[in-house]
Chains A and B, each alone.
Chain A
């Protein structure tokens, strides 16, 4: 995360996805987050974070 302006957008969107889909596939995560624009290049780490959140929230 650099400027972080988009960060709460990622979190809100990911929370919405995880509320609907407990174990989303990477494709589903990409689909859900596809409309968020970030120019610092944190996307891959964000995808991993959503996967980790899904795992920990269902554990």
Chain B
């Protein structure tokens, strides 16, 4: 898979698509990759000729509403309608890596860069409008993508009217890593007190598509010539694949066995054939070298493990406050594991010019 750097170096970067929609406003020379830690505004936001604002983020939607929240910020900062902001999520060749999602931090800590980008885009577009109208940008307010001049209701201009006047895609320093990634721009985001769309309760942008079966999941990705695969799981932890009997899947469509060292799986043109073949495949495994505690004794087992103490908040003097008053309680927390949402599925497309991977989070 191409890295972001090679992707940028080999193509053009764009901030605002003007005119026909196919014209890219800024070309980044192939032999001069952008300086490290600099990024184009268009890596975050792009305005299309119809006024749609594409919002690029490495965040994905798995129930937290992050893209919806970000879109609310962008709508407020730019002065466009919430419906005109289109989240473009999670494509690693098209978005800045900013820690992905985790720990419910995305909206809390990830909003700075997108708000800065929106503030800067607004500033650039208003500067172009100021030149066109001969009125200072400070005298302009924007509602639903329409620029109004205060005190002169007759004087209006749309953002889309000034797209073509935009200078080449500006680049700004990118600071921080992970959730702390930020974009340093001259413009300042609005005071949160000015927000009207952010802070209001709006339908999540992904909800309707999910309700009506239009939202694309990884299982909907079907490159030409794709084969379906199924793992054959070991019967327990601590075992190694000893033998595979390919003859055991003969006659199940065009299913065939894939064996790589200790891994066994099957592939077939039809998914159902892959499922049936994985069930039918005869394998033998070595005796387990490790065993797991019995489910019924899991809680006792966990209590018997070494305790790692972790203090997240230390406020006041607990011992002094509680004094000698007896205070005792036992809490048991079910054993939990992280697992991806949706069907466990990954699609891999291997081509001569690169590999594309679609996967769950």
List chain A positions with a Cβ less than 8 A from chain B: 1-5, 7-8, 11, 39-40
Q: Which of chain A's residues have a CB closer than 8 A to the CB of B339?
A: 39
A–B pairs, 6, beta carbons within 8 Å: A1-B207, A1-B210, A2-B62, A3-B63, A4-B211, A8-B213
**CB pair B342 A5 closer than 8 Å:** yes
Main DSSP-derived SS at the B contact region = loop
Q: Which of chain A's residues have a CB closer than 8 A to the CB of B308?
A: none
Least CB separation from B361: chain A residue: A3
Contact flags (1/0) for B44-65 with A, using CB distance below 8 Å?
0000000000000000001100
Given contacts A2-B341, A39-B339, A40-B341, contact A8 B210 (CB under 8 A): yes
Complex-state Cα separation, A40 to B210, whole angstroms: 14
Q: Which of chain B's residues have a CB closer than 8 A to the CB of A40?
A: 63, 341
B231 at the interface (CB under 8 A from A): no
Least CB separation from A7: chain B residue: B210
Q: Which of chain B's residues have a CB closer than 8 A to the CB of A8?
A: 210-213
B215 at the interface (CB under 8 A from A): yes
CB distance from A32 to the nearest CB of B (A): 18
Complex-state Cα separation, A43 to B7, whole angstroms: 43
Least CB separation from B211: chain A residue: A7
B343 at the interface (CB under 8 A from A): yes
List chain B positions with a Cβ less than 8 A from chain A: 62-63, 206-207, 210-213, 215, 217, 339, 341-343
**CB pair A3 B211 closer than 8 Å:** no
**CB pair B343 A5 closer than 8 Å:** yes
Q: Which of chain B's residues have a CB closer than 8 A to the CB of A2?
A: 62-63, 341
CB distance from A52 to the nearest CB of B (A): 15
**CB pair B211 A39 closer than 8 Å:** no
Of the residues B212, B213, B342, contact of A3 by C-beta under 8 Å: B342
**CB pair A4 B212 closer than 8 Å:** no
**CB pair B207 A4 closer than 8 Å:** yes
Complex-state Cα separation, A7 to B61, whole angstroms: 15
Least CB separation from B219: chain A residue: A5
Q: Which of chain B's residues have a CB closer than 8 A to the CB of A7?
A: 210-211
Q: Which of chain B's residues have a CB closer than 8 A to the CB of A39?
A: 339, 341
**CB pair A4 B343 closer than 8 Å:** no
Least CB separation from B343: chain A residue: A5
Complex-state Cα separation, A1 to B211, whole angstroms: 10
Least CB separation from A5: chain B residue: B342
Complex-state Cα separation, A8 to B63, whole angstroms: 16
Q: Which of chain A's residues have a CB closer than 8 A to the CB of B215?
A: 4
**CB pair A5 B217 closer than 8 Å:** yes
Q: Which of chain B's residues have a CB closer than 8 A to the CB of A11?
A: 211
Given contacts A8-B212, A8-B213, A40-B63, contact A3 B341 (CB under 8 A): yes
CB distance from A40 to the nearest CB of B (A): 6
Complex-state Cα separation, A40 to B212, whole angstroms: 19
Complex-state Cα separation, A6 to B296, whole angstroms: 31
Complex-state Cα separation, A40 to B63, whole angstroms: 9
Q: Which of chain A's residues have a CB closer than 8 A to the CB of B213?
A: 8
List of 3 A-B pairs having minimum Cβ-Cβ separation, nearest first: A2-B63, A4-B210, A3-B341
Q: Which of chain B's residues have a CB closer than 8 A to the CB of A5?
A: 210, 217, 341-343
**CB pair A3 B62 closer than 8 Å:** yes
CB distance from B1 to the nearest CB of A (A): 24
Q: Which of chain B's residues have a CB closer than 8 A to the CB of A4?
A: 63, 206-207, 210-211, 215
Least CB separation from A9: chain B residue: B213
Complex-state Cα separation, A1 to B209, whole angstroms: 13
CB distance from A2 to the nearest CB of B (A): 3
Complex-state Cα separation, A11 to B211, whole angstroms: 7
Complex-state Cα separation, A16 to B215, whole angstroms: 22
Complex-state Cα separation, A7 to B213, whole angstroms: 8
Extra contacts, 13 of them, besides A4-B210, A5-B341, A39-B341 (Cβ < 8 A), are: A1-B207, A1-B210, A2-B62, A2-B63, A2-B341, A3-B217, A3-B341, A5-B342, A5-B343, A8-B211, A39-B339, A40-B63, A40-B341
